[in-house]
């Protein structure tokens, strides 16, 4: 393992898992607020893994995920706004 | 160890530290408004990580794509925080404008 994969592991274990647990507890809006952080976190983890494993084409996954998760979070906010 | 490696490592772990602080804040705070304060700085950590890759790789395809990911996150996270806060406000009975 190199420093990039260690950084990805740190973000996954120390960052994404606590945020995932926070998403599962609390009311709907606080869970949605926590969920909005998971998309950028996953994109960064994919970016670091692509750099760590020297797989340059896999960075495209991080790009797509960052765009799609942003749109998804905006749609989720709009749906919650209408009282779902 | 070259200066390039040192700068890249400092930027990488700074970015990871910022992201972990954001995650800790979101995990510890209880309400949606308190949690949203910790989601917006994620763009700062993403920028530091992307610049770390850029310092290591230069303006290659990898470095450019890392910058693109950071740009999307930097632009999107404040917008999402605002949209979530607006949804929480309306759900709490606030006026829709």
Tell if the CB–CB gap between A11 and B86 is shorter than 8 Å: no
Reference B80, options A16, A61, A39; nearest CA is A39
Would B97 be classed as within a structural domain? no
Nearest to A33 among B36, B42, B66 (CB): B36
In this predicted complex, what is the ipTM?
0.90
Nearest to A56 among B46, B56, B61 (CB): B61
CA–CA separation, B84 vs A32, rounded Å? 8
Would B40 be classed as within a structural domain? yes
Kindly report, residue by residue over A7-51, the tens digit of the pLDDT.
999 999 999 999 999 888 888 999 999 999 999 999 999 999 999
Nearest to A59 among B62, B73, B83 (CB): B62
Which chain A residue is nearest to residue B96, measuring alpha carbons? A81
Would B46 be classed as within a structural domain? yes
Would B75 be classed as within a structural domain? yes
What are the CB-based long-range contacts (under 8 Å, 24+) for B86-90? Answer: B86/A77, B86/A81, B87/A29, B87/A32, B87/A77, B87/A78, B87/A80, B87/A81, B88/A29, B88/A33, B88/A80, B88/B32, B88/B33, B88/B36, B90/A81
Q: How far is CA B81 from CA A57, A76, B10, B33, B40, in A?
A: 30, 12, 28, 9, 6
Q: pTM for this structure?
A: 0.91
Q: How far is CA B1 from CA A45, A47, B8, B11, in A?
A: 25, 24, 11, 15
Residue span of the structural domain in which B41 resides: 3-91
Number of independent structural domains in chain B: 1
| Residue B9 forms contact with A (CB below 8 Å) | yes
What string of pLDDT tens digits covers the 97 residues of chain B? 788 889 999 999 999 999 999 999 999 988 889 999 998 888 999 999 999 999 998 888 888 999 999 999 999 999 999 999 999 999 887 777 6
């Amino acid at each position: 393992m190199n420093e990039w994969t260690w950084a990805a592991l740190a973000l996954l274990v120390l960052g994404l898992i606590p945020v995932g647990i926070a998403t599962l507890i609390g009311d709907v809006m606080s869970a949605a607020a926590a969920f909005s952080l998971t998309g950028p976190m996953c994109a960064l983890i994919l970016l670091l893994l692509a750099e760590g494993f020297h797989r340059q084409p896999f960075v495209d996954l991080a790009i797509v995920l960052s765009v799609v998760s942003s749109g998804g979070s905006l749609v989720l906010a709009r749906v919650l706004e209408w009282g779902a | 160890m070259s200066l390039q490696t040192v700068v890249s490592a400092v930027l990488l772990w700074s970015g990871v530290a910022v992201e972990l602080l954001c995650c800790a804040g979101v995990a510890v705070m209880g309400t949606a408004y308190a949690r949203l304060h910790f989601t917006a700085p994620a763009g700062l950590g993403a920028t530091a990580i992307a610049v770390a890759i850029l310092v290591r790789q230069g303006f290659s395809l990898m470095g450019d794509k890392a910058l693109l990911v950071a740009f999307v996150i930097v632009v999107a996270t404040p917008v999402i925080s605002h949209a979530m806060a607006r949804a929480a406000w309306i759900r709490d009975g606030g006026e829709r404008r």
